[in-house]
Structure 1
Amino acid sequence: MKERLRDYHGKRDFDRTREPEGRAGAAGAEPRFVVQIHDASTMHFDFRLQVGDVLKSWSVPKGPSGIPKDKRLAVPTEDHPLEYEEFEGVIPEGQYGGGTVIVWDHGTYEPLSHDREGRSVDFAESIEHGHATFRLHGSKLHGTYALTRFRGDEDESWLLVKKAEGRAGGHGAPDPRRARSVRSGRTLSQVAADDREK
């Protein structure tokens, strides 16, 4: 795990930030996911899936959509420790990712990746090969999604897409400034104000 979190540790000064260092690493029975809203230099959503003992992470500028076939750009970021699923607070100015973070949604997911013959594929392998399918069981996000890697002009990027299934409907991503944390019920501005009071 220490090797997988090398980039994460290299970007942070844990004497200044309250972000978790990632020393625990105990994985539960079902893999977890979290979606955090991050008001940093640019407002974005961080989409994280537990793969083994870390959270594989993508920055999703417009946030995940509950509308089938609605494509969302997802830019990979460094792996995060499992404890990051619970992180909510303010990353100090001058630190990597400085800004306010709330936990917009979290829950478990079912890996659904398979090969062309329909056989199950190890989820870490499917991420490595650039296409992973999974079913989210969150407080806000439900249903089957796919992450697919493509290569753009500059960096490797992915698309996060909800699959069409069952009844039609679904909602796009929320207004991040009005969205509330699934953990504390607070908005970004309330978390920032509470941090200033401390």
Structure 2
Amino acid sequence: MGVHDWDLVPARNATADPTIRATDGASQRDVFSSLRAMMAATRALADDQGGALVSEGTDNVYVISTASGLSELRPGLMISFWADRDNTDEPFLNVSGTGPRRWRGADGLSLPAGSVQRGLLYTVTWTGGLDGLPLEWRSVGAASAAPRSAGVSFDHSGSPAERAQYDAAPKGTTFLSVADTPQGPS
């Protein structure tokens, strides 16, 4: 049980989570244990969405065990996790035992072999048939990692005076420093 099982209608939450005693007329003694249970549920949600999860599983089925104990897939549900391996074919996600479901890119296209990489953080959302979308997981944005291209790194060097020559660059410009010899992860 957790935040995912709570309802948007307050009155329906009176018995939505057995660890939180939220019924009318509940004992004053239940207040602090219920507050602690709400804090724990909120922490579990933060872990589910904040990158505290790591995938498991085999082949191209990535198994994710949520901290919140997710039991039902709903449109808009979002989780973030670190991939434990690269994919060799179309990937699937099995989140908290809800069964393997297709995992596609943000554009709805299949993710080809090699598009999921070990050690990268992925954020996905369940489309759940929202506005006629198929029942599948979709990537949100791009995976997070330091640049992997040999010899390319973000340029954070130089004094403010040396960097002033770039102040007139259009908004959103990214500057890269290119090394002659490759560096970084092999």
Query: Which structure: larger Rg?
Result: 2
The structure where strand makes up a greater share of residues is: 1
Give the TM-score normalised by the residue count of structure 2. Answer: 0.24
Of Structure 1 and Structure 2, the greater helix share is in 2
Q: Comparing both chains, which one has the higher relative contact order based on Cα–Cα distances under 8 Å and sequence gaps of 6 or more?
A: 1
Structure-1-length-normalised TM-score: 0.23
